[in-house]
Each structure stands twice: as C-alpha cells, then as structure tokens.
Structure 1
Amino acid sequence: MKILSIQSAVAYGHVGNSAAVFPLQRIGVEVLPVYTVNFSNHTGYGAWRGPLISPDDVRDVITGIEERGVFGEIDVVLSGYQGGEGIADVILDAVARVKAANPAAVYSCDPVMGNAKSGCFVAPAIPVLLRDRVVPAADIITPNQFELGFLTETEPTDLASTLASADAARAMGPRTVLVTSVERPDAPEGTIEMLAVTDDGAWIVQTPRIPMKANGSGDVTAALFTAHYRASGDAADALAKTVSSVYDLLQTTFDSGQRELQLVEAQEFYAHPRLQFPVTRVR
C-alpha cells in the first residue's frame, strides 16, 4: 500500500506527518510525506520557529511526485492539519489527480480544527473551508466529537446524537466516519470511546481514559485507521487495531512522564496490536 500524506511536520516531537509516517511504515505501508509546515515543534508550546510552506511550494512537490509516474500506485491520499487556507486547493487538486491515475484510490481527511476543551485552534477560515469544500470530497473523515459537531452544525452529546451527526457527515459525501474522543453521559466514569460508521453499520470501542493531553495522537489514529480499513475493508477490525495501538502508545507515553508521544518506544504496538478492547456493534 502507498499513502500520499499531506500534513505538517515538526523537528521536535510528533504531530502531523512526524506522528503519522513511522507508525504507517511500521505496519508495512509505503508513505510519501508532503509537508505543509516545517516547524521546530508543535504550536501547543506557545512558541515555535519555522515556516508555513506556501501552497505553490506544496503543489510543486506533489507535481514532482506525479512526474515520477507513481500516482497510479497511490492507494490513499491522507491529509491533516492544513496550516494556511490555500493548502486546501492543493490537496483537492492532488486528490483529483491521484484518482484520475488510480480510480480505486481514496481520500482520507482528518479535519483538524480543535477540540472540546480548547475550542478551535486553527485560522478562522479553515473550519468553514473544511466543512464546505474539503470534507465533501473525502471518502473517509476522522473528526473528534467536537469537530463532528461543527462540520454538521449539530450537537453530538450521547450515542444516538453522535450517530445522527455521523450520518449527517456521511450525507455530505464521505461514506466512512471515524469519531474520536467520544464522550457521553451514560458511559462509565473514566472512560472514552471511538466510533466508526460506514454503509455497513456502526461500531464503538471503549477504553480507560488516560489522564494526559497528547498532541499528535489524533494524527496517529487517522493514519492507522485509514491504512487498516483500506487494507481490509472491515471497519470493525480497523477500529479494534487502531484503538489498541493508540491506547498502548498513550499508556507508554504516560508511563514515561514525557510530554511528547513516545512514538518509537511504542512501535511494537502498531505492528502487533494486542486487541484488548472489545468492539461493540451499535447499529
């Protein structure tokens, strides 16, 4: 499998492509990373250095890849944090060109815009751009529960409303929706869930909540779920493997006492998921 991954990059720590590429490689995926920013570290530190990469430069890199004649071999285009507004046009153009070369290719979009605790942390125009133009072009989207609510202009607060919001998102274009950081009032205290919804049904997995903020964990989640689902076509299987790997990554990070994801230390959990959490069909 080959994935063209258009995301941010940092030198220190693991977010964007700096979080997604290694886990994908560890499960046997060939990744072609294209960077939208090249920062010293993620912006959660409040200070960082390095450039936003201009849309023209990002497009130029993608064109150079196309000139190598590999677009017909690309199975997935994956996008995450987009940085500036103009990147969306570049991504959508790349998706169209890849699909023209390989009609079986899919586009997986992680519509990064914020979370329930922090609110939106991207430029004001980005969420609207994602909702109106990018998400409708995607085959798979991987929002958290907060982002799902913005995209669909709904308020997913329990399982029924989150399923309804996922269906509203699917009506926009993407057939597969992975909802991360699902919280609902009737779930046991100290737990968090992940929900996958496709044409074939809906499945949920519950895990203990690890008490830490983990920048980049959503990028790992989107990458692993996309790759597993593309390989098997089985959303429940992809969900089980992804949740297992990400939970063990987070537990490894928490146990280390470090702020940044212990991405390399947890590598065996990507290659050999323990599948310790049951997947429950909810529809």
Structure 2
Amino acid sequence: MQILSIQSHVAFGYVGNSAAVFPLQRLGHEVWPVLTVNFSNHTGYGEWRGPLVAPADVAAVIDGISERAAFPGIDAVLSGYQGDPAVGAVILDAVAKVKAANPDAVYCCDPVMGDVGRGFFVRPGIPEFMRDEVVPAADVITPNHFELDFLSGRTTTTLDEVVAAVDVVRATGPRDVLVTSVVHGALGSEELDLVAVSDEGAWAVTTPLLPITPNGGGDVTAAVYLAHLRTTGSPATALGLTANTLFAILERTLASGRRELELVASQDAIATPPTRFTVRALR
C-alpha cells in the first residue's frame, strides 16, 4: 500500500509524521510524508524551534509528488493535526486529486481538536472547520472520546451512547470510525475502550488504563488502524490489531521511564501485534 501522509514533523520525539511513518513502514507500506511544520520537538515541552510550513509550500510539495505520476498509485491519504484552515484546504484539495486519479483511494483523518480534561487546544474556528469541512470529506476518522462528543453534538457516557453518537457522525460522510480513549462507567475507572463502527457493525476492545499520556499516541493509532483496515478489510480485525499494538507500545514506554514513545523498541509488536486483548461485538 502507498500512503500520502500530510502531517507535522519533529526532529526529536514522535508526533505527526514522526510517529506515523515508521509504524507504517514497519508494516510494509510505502509512505510519502509531506510536512506541515518542521519543529525541533513537539509543543508539549513548552519550547520548540523551527518553522511552520506555509500552505503554499505544502501544496507545492504535493504538486511535485503529483508530477512524479504518483497519485494513481496512492491507496490512502492520512492527515492529523491541522492548525490552520488554509493547510486544511490544501489537504482536502490533495484528497480530491488523489481520488480523481484513483477512485479506490480513501482519506483517513485524525480530527485533532482537544481531549477530556484539557478541552480544546486548537485555534478558535478549527473545531468547526474540522466538523463542517474536513470530517464530511473523510472515509475514515479516528476521534478520541472528547472529539466524538463535539462532532456529534452529544454527551456520551455509555458504550451504547458512543455508538449512537458515531452513527450521527457517520451520517455526515465517513463510513469507518475508530473512537479512542473511551472512558465510561464509574468515575476513576481503570479501563478504557477503543470502539470501531462501520456499515458492518460495531465493536470494542477494553484495555487497562496505564498511568501515561505520551504525545503521539493518537498519530500512531490512526496510522496503524488505517493500515490494518485497508489490508484486512475488516474493522473488527483492524481494531484488535491496533489496540494490542498501542498497548504494547505504551506499556514499553511506561517501563522505560522516558517521555517519548518507544516506537523503535516496540517494532516487533508493531510488525506482529500480540493477542492480549480480544474484540467483542456491540451490535
């Protein structure tokens, strides 16, 4: 599979393309990374260096890839954090051109906007842009629980409510939805779920809630889920492989005591995911 991944890049650590490209390559896929920023490190450190890439420059790089006659061979476009609607417009334009060249290509969007406990952490107007323009153009989206509630206009506390909210969002365009970091039931729960919903049904996987919240986990999740979904054709299978892969990465990261994801050290778990957690059908 060939993937056009339009995301941020950091030299130190793992977020955006720096988090997505290696797992995709370890799974055997070709990736054409296009950078929207080129930072020294992610902004969670509070200080960073390096430039934002101007939307026109992002578009120019994509045009250069097109000039290599690459678009007919691209199977998927992947995007994550979009800090500027102008960059979002460039991504949507690229998606349209790729699909014109290859009608079987899909667009996978991680609609990064905020999280439980933090609220929105993007610029004003970005959540509405994601909801009204980007998500309807996507085939696959991977929101977290907080982002799902915003996209659906609902407040969800049970798995049934989560699935119903996903159906609201799916009615706007995307057919496959993976919801990450789903917390339900009693407050202080020590478990969380990943929930996948498609035309074929709905499924969940429950994993322990580890005391770690490294940056880049969502970027890895979106990339790995997209890869397994397109390779296996089964949302349930892709969900199980993704959940087990991410837990293995997070568990190794926690054991290391380091702040950044242990992607390289976890490469065997990426290539051959363990089978610790099982998928169950919700409908």
- TM-score range (shorter-chain normalised) is over 0.9
Using structure 1 for the length normalisation, give the TM-score: 0.98
Which residue matches 1:55? 55
SS at match of 1:124: coil
Shift in Å at residue 170 of structure 1? 0.1
Deviations 1:146-178 (A, max 9, x none): 001111111122111111110011011000110
For 1:188 and 1:278, the matched residues in 2 are separated by 23
For 1:192 and 1:170, the matched residues in 2 are separated by 22
SS at match of 2:179: strand
For 2:229 and 2:28, the matched residues in 1 are separated by 14
Which residue matches 1:30? 30
Deviations 1:27-63 (A, max 9, x none): 0010000011111111111111111111100000000
For 2:24 and 2:130, the matched residues in 1 are separated by 24
For 1:135 and 1:141, the matched residues in 2 are separated by 7
Using structure 2 for the length normalisation, give the TM-score: 0.98
Which residue matches 1:151? 151
Which residue matches 1:70? 70
Which residue matches 2:172? 172
- What's the RMSD between the two structures over aligned residues? 1.1
SS at match of 1:23: helix
SS at match of 2:147: helix
For 1:52, give the aligned amino acid: L
Which residue matches 2:142? 142
Which residue matches 1:87? 87
Which residue matches 2:263? 263
Whether the aligned pair in 1 keeps the contact of 2:10 and 2:39 (CA below 8 Å) is yes
For 1:117 and 1:18, the matched residues in 2 are separated by 26
Deviations 1:49-103 (A, max 9, x none): 1111111000000000000001000000000011222111101000000000000
Unaligned runs of 5+ in 1: none
Whether the aligned pair in 2 keeps the contact of 1:159 and 1:184 (CA below 8 Å) is yes
Seq. identity, %: 58
For 2:25, give the aligned amino acid: Q
For 1:207, give the aligned amino acid: T
Q: Are residues 1:273 and 2:257 paired?
A: no
Q: Are residues 1:225 and 2:225 paired?
A: yes
Which residue matches 2:39? 39
Q: Are residues 1:21 and 2:27 paired?
A: no
Shift in Å at residue 186 of structure 1? 5.3
Shift in Å at residue 187 of structure 1? 9.3
Shift in Å at residue 189 of structure 1? 3.2
Which residue matches 2:105? 105
Which residue matches 2:160? 160
Which residue matches 1:190? 190
SS at match of 1:206: strand
Deviations 1:241-272 (A, max 9, x none): 11111000000000000011111111111101
For 1:84 and 1:53, the matched residues in 2 are separated by 11
Aligned length: 283
Which residue matches 1:210? 210
Shift in Å at residue 188 of structure 1? 9.2
Whether the aligned pair in 1 keeps the contact of 2:191 and 2:208 (CA below 8 Å) is yes
Whether the aligned pair in 1 keeps the contact of 2:183 and 2:189 (CA below 8 Å) is no
For 1:275 and 1:3, the matched residues in 2 are separated by 26
Shift in Å at residue 126 of structure 1? 1.1
Whether the aligned pair in 2 keeps the contact of 1:52 and 1:83 (CA below 8 Å) is no
For 2:101 and 2:186, the matched residues in 1 are separated by 47
Which portions of structure 1, spanning 4 or more consecutive aligned residues, are displaced by more than 2 angstroms?
186-189
